[in-house]
Amino acid sequence: MNMPKQVSEMLAAPADADQPTTRQFSRRDLLAVVRAAAVAPVVAAPVIVQAVSTDTSNELIYMSATKLAGLIRAGKVSASEAVEAYIARQLSVNDELNAVVMNSYARARKEAAAADKAGARGDWMGPLHGVPMTIKDSLDTEGVITTGATYGRQQYMPKQDATVVARVRKAGAILLGKTNTPEFTLGGLAGINAASNLLYGSSHNPYDLTRSTSGSSGGAGAIVAAGGAAFDIGSDWGGSIRGPAHNNGIAGIKPTSIRVPRTGHIVDYGGLFDLWQQLGPMTRRVEDLSLITPIISGPDYRDASCAPVPWADPAAVNLKKLKVAFFASNGVSETDDDVKNTVIQAAKWMEGIASSVTEDLPKAILQDLYDARTKLTNADGWAFYKRMAAKWGTQNFSPSVTERMKTLVPISTADTVAAWDAADDAKSRMLGWIQKYDVLLCPVAGKAAEVIDRPASAARPNAYTWSYTGAFNSTGWPVVVVRCGTSADGKLPIGIQIVAAPWREDICLAVASFLESKSGGWKKPPI
């Protein structure tokens, strides 16, 4: 596939202390990539080599998707056995979790039987052959009701899968059901503090049923953590993969903006917020993020922003040459001692292997990103939300959204453009800052999972400002979250964000895998 030489070289550069790992992206460079894609032949998702798992778990419903796929391919487990085990687990825990809101068990059993027959012939669909999954209810699934948590779609049955769903199904994954989310992924019964909506109610955290799953991919986070699915695919507009990964103690990735097509998501592509939205897998183990993300990446020639960017192998990253930055609080929203201690511990683990580890907070830049994002989010008084509701025939919003809209006053076009300019300026300054480093470690949120549907308060802004996560939707940078700690009472998981410059998912995943090996990563919940 044709690609401008300077862009190709930039994307292929290894993570090495002897050369820069970031470049200032000009609009001309980005346009060159997109134009190259426009004239290139239509291609399928990249061919993925079957991965070898390092997961030591022997329990079928708790092992990684990578390990399960390997066992199915080796004939040690059948797809039907895997599907039945996950269905049984969902039936045993979902009454308490309320994470899976629509099932497709009958179809899953038929697909598993067909997968087993194909496997017996040596006809393997792909690297996820026979692996059971769930999918966030905001992503279209052919033949399975997809509500997006809004009344106007309560009986909506898509005629085709979202692009990412089609790709993992083509790779052999089997859909068991849809997972809970706030309405349109943007407004639940109490914002996106929890996966809550008027159709299905609230999901519950498997480590403490009184606690939030976070949102908007909260049902996904809960069922994956509880062993009810090998993986899920979530969406992230301001932290909606990373918050649930943190609260539920799993691994999740927000890839670089425009790497993964958004086609078939209820908030898809285009418009002022186009580059904020990204889709990515949610798993128990980091190795599964490395397996699944390249499967769902690459243009589908419907999402007009999606670029054909090469995928770099995380295994090729030399951790010993990495320059690491970290901060335990961003100065916009405070963190408690449990979160601070977790980030500091992760930094200490990196000191044992990395070239350098430096505490460094670009506070002014993060504040400017947050301020610009807040203005842009509210610029049209949420007219964009009302347009989505009108499109699907939803007439009544959840109370929290209704109350929020009463307080929002649209700003002028001039002020909107000024906020956009301010965001771009802060993004550029952030690129300048990261030139000193290869990777950043920082909090996902100010605390571990809080109580479900706690009321909004100006004095407790963490769940509502997304100040730790939203900055990296604004920049478009890739972020991986992995569990690195536990609350002081020993009950609740704490994840951290691992951030790198654009297109360097390989660095994020390599560091996440190392930190997972030190912390143990995901741990079985008590449910």
Q: Which residue numbers are catalytic?
A: 136, 216, 240
Q: Is 457 helix (H, G, I), strand (E, B) or coil?
A: coil
> Residue 429 and residue 496: Cα distance in Å, rounded?
23
Phi-psi region of 25 (alpha: psi -120 to 50; beta: other; left: phi over 0): beta
The full DSSP string for 273-314 is: TGGG-EEEEEESSHHHHHHHHHHH-S--SSSTT---PPPPPG
Q: What angle do CA 101, 464, 526 make, to 5 degrees?
A: 50
- Choose among 58, 442, 433: nearest CA to 242: 442
What are the tokens at 48? 């993925």
Q: How far apart are CA 21 and CA 15, in angstroms?
A: 6
As a whole number of angstroms, the distance between CA 310 and CA 99 comes to 34
Which residues are CB-contacts of 464 (< 8 A; sequence separation ≥ 6)? 191, 193, 456
CA-CA-CA-CA torsion sign (292, 298, 299, 300): negative
Question: Can you tell me the distance from the alpha carbon of 508 to that of 504, in angstroms, rounded to the nearest whole number?
Answer: 7
Alpha-carbon distance values, 447 to 191, 246, 451 (Å): 17, 10, 11
Q: What is the largest CA-CA distance in the chain?
A: 64
Burial tier of 381 (Cβ tally within 10 Å: 0-12, 13-18, 19+): middle
Q: How many residues does the chain have?
A: 527
| Residues near 493 by beta carbon (within 8 Å), at least 6 away in sequence | 207, 246, 247, 248, 249, 448, 449, 483, 485, 486, 487, 522, 523
What's the CA gap between 509 and 490, in Å, rounded? 26
Q: Measured between alpha carbons, how far is 6 from 516 in angstroms, rounded to an integer?
A: 34
Strand segments, DSSP code E, in 127-277 are: 132-136, 174-179, 189-192, 196-197, 201-202, 231-236, 251-254
Could you tell me if 430 and 365 are in contact, meaning their C-beta atoms sit under 8 angstroms apart?
A: yes
322 Rama class: left (phi>0) / alpha (psi -120 to 50) / beta: beta
- Answer for the pair 522, 248: CB distance below 8 angstroms, yes or no: no
Q: With H, G, I as helix, E, B as strand and everything else as coil, classify residue 236.
A: strand
